[in-house]
Amino acid sequence: MGDGVGAVFGALADPSRRYLVERLADLGAATPTELAGELPMTRQAVAKHLATLAHAGLVHGTREGRNTVYRPDPAPLRDATAWLDRVGAQWDERLAALARHVGRASS
């Protein structure tokens, strides 16, 4: 996986991880075992997914007593959105340039 935006897109490519992000965005905070209870997989698998999400900066886990609480971080989402917007704008700008060219040709 690439760094920065690449890690975010890579993390969001897996449906289980997207579910975890949605669930954490809804709950605000949760432990791996809580989340594992809602998914058809082992706690360790969920922990790995959370580690991937943490590596992408989408969640952060802090140890509180004997259980670790994970909280979401929306900042990388904005980075990913920024990339999408940039490419979309690039596309639109090219379309506009094409329209200008066509308009000049037809005038």
Considering the rule CB under 8 A, would residue 94 count as an interface residue with its own copies? yes
User: Considering only residues 11-70, where is the footprint of DNA by CB under 7 A?
Assistant: 13-14, 16, 31-34, 40-45, 47-49, 52, 61, 63, 65-68
For its own copies, which residue of 41, 87, 99, 102 counts as binding (CB under 8 A)?
87
Of residues 37 and 88, the one with the C-beta less far from DNA: 37
Cβ atoms within 10 Å, residue 4: 13
Strand intervals (E) in the chain = 59-64, 67-72
Residue 44's alpha-carbon distances to 19, 24, 57, 61, in angstroms, are 16, 17, 19, 15
Spatial distance between the Cα atoms of 38 and 22, rounded to a whole number of angstroms: 13
Spatial distance between the Cα atoms of 87 and 55, rounded to a whole number of angstroms: 24
Binding mask 3-42 for its own copies (x = CB under 8 A): --xx--xx-xxxx--x--xx--xx-x--------------
Min dist CB 51 to DNA, Å, is 7
Considering the rule CB under 8 A, would residue 45 count as an interface residue with its own copies? no
